[in-house]
Amino acid sequence: MNMPSRPDLFPPTTSTFQKYDLTPAQLDLVWDMNRKLSRREFDQFIETSRALGLNPFRRQICAFVLNEQSSKKRQFVIVTTIAGLRAIADRTGTYRPDSRAARMTFSEEAKNPRSNPHGIVDCIVTPFRFAKGRWHRIMGQVWWDEIAPIRHRDDGETYLDTRTPWPARPRGQIIKCAEAAALRAGWPDDLANVYSEDELDRARVSDLTPSEVADEAKKSRLLERMQPRGTILIDMWDGDGLSAVPISAFHDRVSEFIRSYNDKKLGELLTWRDQQRIAFRQFFVHDKNAGLDLKRQFEAIETAASKQPVEMANGN
């Protein structure tokens, strides 16, 4: 006998979560899994799990301690996994998963072998919410440079935080973040201020207290004024100090600077190159081929300078 199918006009029946009580043995197991928590933090974690109807054993909710080695910066955080967010939205009876694959934008210019191997720019996921008699798409969009846990080295190099899953599966992580953003936008009463574990990865990178984060934001705004995005700071020895040169024009500017030096000042030119080594490293990350071309130009200069007397190479 064929069962009648429910038309898409009607949402599924709302399902309330089943409250559960962990047995003493289960509590002891969860306690063993979260030994970094204090007793009070562990009690708060279990009570929050019960209040949200999420099960720690199903990896629907997790607890983390940030900066555990510092008593001043130590921070206890409870986050849900993407499975927990879906479970909460599904209970409302108005949730339906996205019928399409996640949409990602890629860019060759955004590629970096260590901090963005696929050149991802952004990601969009659109689950459905039932409202006013029909299903509506809810868009969740996140940007790579805002959500990925990118760390910075002193020499300007960037890389994905190896303490997170992002280096192993960057596309999967940003998709989950985009879906989490959509779920919070579509179900604000149920998921306001509830964040997924993948979104927390960005916070782990900073290791800062809230006041320090505010200070860093102010510094970032000042740096943005000094060095707009898509530029590299370099001293062109023109008397103006550091200049923000667009990455697209960096190769031509440096090549022109090299040509402006005559054969009597090759030593000075090599000194300038050594002083700007951080700028050249940053450019190499963005454009390897153009960076190699500049390297070949300087290698030719080194060869020519080695054949000159020391006084002549220094411009004397």
Range with top average pLDDT, 131-140, 214-223, 256-265: 131-140
* Helix, strand, coil share of the chain (percent; to 5): 45, 15, 35
Residue 70 has pLDDT above 60, yes or no: yes
Q: What is the pLDDT of residue 9?
A: 47
User: Whole-prediction pTM value?
Assistant: 0.57
User: How far is Cα 209 from Cα 75, in angstroms, rounded to an integer?
Assistant: 8
Report which of residues 15 and 134 the model is more confident about: 134
Nearest to 62 by CA among 185, 210, 199, 205: 199
What's the pLDDT score for residue 182?
94
User: Does the pLDDT of residue 101 top 60, yes or no?
Assistant: yes
Q: Is the predicted pLDDT of residue 172 greater than 90, yes or no?
A: yes
What's the confidence (pLDDT) of residue 230?
A: 82
Q: What is the pLDDT of residue 29?
A: 85
Comparing C-alpha atoms, which of 271, 259, 265 is closest to residue 316? 265
Banded model confidence at residue 18, pLDDT cuts 50, 70, 90: low
Give the residue with greater pLDDT, 119 vs 188: 119
Helix (H, G, I), strand (E, B) or coil at 7: coil
Mean pLDDT to the nearest integer, 203-221: 56
**What value does the mean pLDDT take over residues 103-129?**
95
Q: How far apart are CA 296 and CA 11, in angstroms?
A: 65
CA torsion, ordered 191, 197, 201, 202, to nearest 10 deg: 0
By C-alpha distance, which of 58, 103, 114 is closest to 84? Answer: 58
Number of helices followed by number of strands (H, E) in the chain: 13, 12
pLDDT at res. 191: 76
Residue 5 is predicted with a pLDDT of 43
Worst-scoring range by mean pLDDT, 108-122, 148-162, 180-194? Answer: 180-194
The candidate with the shortest Cα–Cα distance to 148, out of 125, 164, 129, is 164
Tell me, what's the pLDDT at 178? 95
What average pLDDT does this structure show over 203-208?
53
Spatial contact of 122 and 144, defined as CB atoms under 8 Å apart: yes
What's the whole-number average pLDDT of the chain?
82
Residue 240 has pLDDT above 60, yes or no: yes
Could you report the per-residue pLDDT of 256-300, keeping only the tens digit for each? 988 887 666 788 888 899 888 888 888 888 888 898 999 999 998
**Among the ranges 10-19, 166-175, 190-199, 218-227, which has the highest mean pLDDT value?**
166-175
E strands in the chain = 61-66, 75-80, 95-96, 103-106, 120-125, 128-131, 134-137, 140-143, 150-152, 158-160, 231-235, 242-246
Confidence of residue 173 (pLDDT cuts 50, 70, 90): very high
* pLDDT interval class at 15 (50, 70, 90): low
> How far, in Å, CA of 293 to CA of 290, rounded?
5
Residue 224 in tokens: 């943005």
Token couple for 292: 């190699």
Is the separation of the CB atoms in 182 and 138 below 8 Å? yes
pLDDT attached to residue 215: 59
Q: How far is CA 291 from CA 12, 197, 250, 280, 285, in A?
A: 57, 38, 10, 7, 8
Q: Token digits for 261? A: 């030096």
Position 254 scores a pLDDT of 92
How far apart (Å, rounded) are the C-alpha atoms in residues 212 and 220?
A: 12
pLDDT of 120 higher than 90: yes
Average of per-residue pLDDT across 161-177: 93
Is the pLDDT assigned to residue 130 strictly greater than 50? yes
